[in-house]
């Protein structure tokens, strides 16, 4: 049966039933497509191939029967603008995680999420959030040093990172996906349009929702957890000292580069730790506003780019586990593009993220 996959692919393409009918050039009606999606009718080979072309998926994708199931997407207060937008994001999550799991299965890599010992941790205070962040760093042997590529690190911990365009006011979401064997996979979805410093805070905030039990104060406490996880108190005190009566913007931006968070986050963190007082914090943010930096700061941090999936695809190809055409399908490129890229270094773009393969 192709119903679930057909509906998923249509949602990912942002098409209504009528829109898909139009893209098919009237080959079949919207009513017939609806019956395919409900598994009330099976398309013939001609229609099946046309559906695959229209939705930019393979026929084999539509015919697979081991689909994963989305069991929870935590949009919370940062809601998407429409039901259609939410369906698009949900389908993108499922599609990306499913491809990820497929390549892991081919390579016999089974990386189901397991909470570190002592987590999820129940917290009710900002101090508890600080302690939880420190405990998680200890559990993951991170010390107090900055984490240079957070998305890559979290993928090593079996958290799938999905980067897709979202509306400006949605930074990201946490999602749970159930595999055919009943095991759950945890994913964090990033807004690919946001600068790196915002993406890193989003990753840490959503990580907080995954490893903490914070009750009704979850948003506030996960923000505190994110700040502490990205900028440990000991590391910031080492840079700034215990108390400061003044601090320059040049220093804040050097610390932005060091920790990979916004200069505003450094100011917030300094105030949370009592390094600066409320008056100095207010003065700094007045200046952030006057300079037009509240929404977009100078010197953006390179975007977080989850590349493990691409590396696994290339590994599977090199080990003859999978064909070039299948790898091209998984990566969303042509076979010609894939083969031409294999002996080349990946290009880099201005913000440090490699595009394409």
Query: Given a cut of 70, is residue 283 above it in pLDDT?
Result: yes
Query: Given a cut of 90, is residue 99 above it in pLDDT?
Result: no
| pLDDT score at 350 | 54
User: Distance between CA atoms of 95 and 132, rounded to whole angstroms?
Assistant: 32
Query: Using 50, 70 and 90 to split pLDDT, how confident is the model at 66?
Result: low
Query: Using 50, 70 and 90 to split pLDDT, how confident is the model at 60?
Result: confident
| pLDDT score at 247 | 97
**DSSP H helical segments within the chain, as ranges?**
3-12, 17-23, 30-37, 45-55, 59-63, 83-106, 126-139, 150-156, 196-211, 218-230, 233-240, 249-259, 263-272, 278-290, 308-318, 324-331, 335-341
User: pLDDT by residue (tens digit) across 155-198?
Assistant: 999 999 988 887 787 888 888 888 777 788 899 988 899 999 99
Q: Which domains does the chain have, with CATH numbers?
A: 1-65 (1.10.260.40)
Query: Given a cut of 60, is residue 222 above it in pLDDT?
Result: yes
Q: What is the mean pLDDT of residues 144-158?
A: 94
| pLDDT score at 134 | 97
Query: Given a cut of 90, is residue 111 above it in pLDDT?
Result: no
């Amino acid at each position: 049966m192709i119903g679930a996959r057909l509906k998923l692919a249509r949602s990912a393409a942002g098409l209504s039933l009528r829109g898909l009918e139009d893209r098919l050039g009237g080959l079949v009606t919207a009513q017939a497509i609806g019956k395919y999606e409900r598994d009330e009718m099976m398309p013939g080979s001609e229609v099946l191939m046309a559906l695959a072309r229209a939705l930019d998926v393979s026929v084999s994708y539509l015919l697979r029967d081991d689909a994963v199931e989305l069991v929870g997407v935590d949009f919370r207060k940062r809601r998407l603008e429409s039901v259609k937008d939410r369906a698009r994001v949900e389908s993108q999550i499922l599609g990306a995680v499913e491809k990820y799991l497929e390549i892991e299965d081919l390579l016999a890599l089974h990386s189901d999420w397991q909470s570190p010992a002592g987590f999820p941790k129940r917290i009710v205070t900002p101090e508890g959030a600080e302690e939880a962040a420190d405990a998680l760093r200890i559990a993951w042997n991170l010390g107090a040093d900055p984490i240079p590529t957070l998305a890559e690190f979290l993928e090593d911990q079996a958290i799938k990172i999905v980067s897709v365009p979202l509306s400006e006011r949605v930074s990201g979401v946490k999602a749970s996906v159930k595999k055919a064997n009943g095991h759950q996979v945890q994913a964090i979805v990033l807004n690919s349009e946001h600068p790196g410093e915002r993406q890193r805070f989003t990753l840490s905030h959503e990580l907080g929702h995954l490893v903490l039990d914070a009750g009704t104060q979850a948003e506030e406490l996960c923000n505190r957890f994110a700040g502490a996880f990205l900028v440990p108190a000991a590391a910031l005190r080492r840079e700034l000292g215990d108390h400061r009566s003044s601090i320059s913007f040049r220093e804040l931006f050097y610390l932005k580069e060091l920790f990979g968070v916004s200069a505003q986050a450094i100011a917030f963190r300094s105030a949370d730790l009592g390094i600066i007082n409320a008056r100095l914090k207010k003065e700094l943010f007045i200046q952030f506003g006057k300079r037009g930096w509240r929404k977009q700061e100078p010197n953006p941090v390179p975007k977080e780019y989850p590349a493990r999936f691409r590396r696994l695809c290339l590994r599977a190809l090199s080990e003859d586990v999978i064909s070039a055409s299948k790898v091209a399908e998984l990566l969303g490129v042509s076979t010609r593009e894939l083969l031409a890229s294999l002996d080349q270094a990946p290009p880099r773009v201005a913000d440090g993220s490699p595009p394409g393969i």
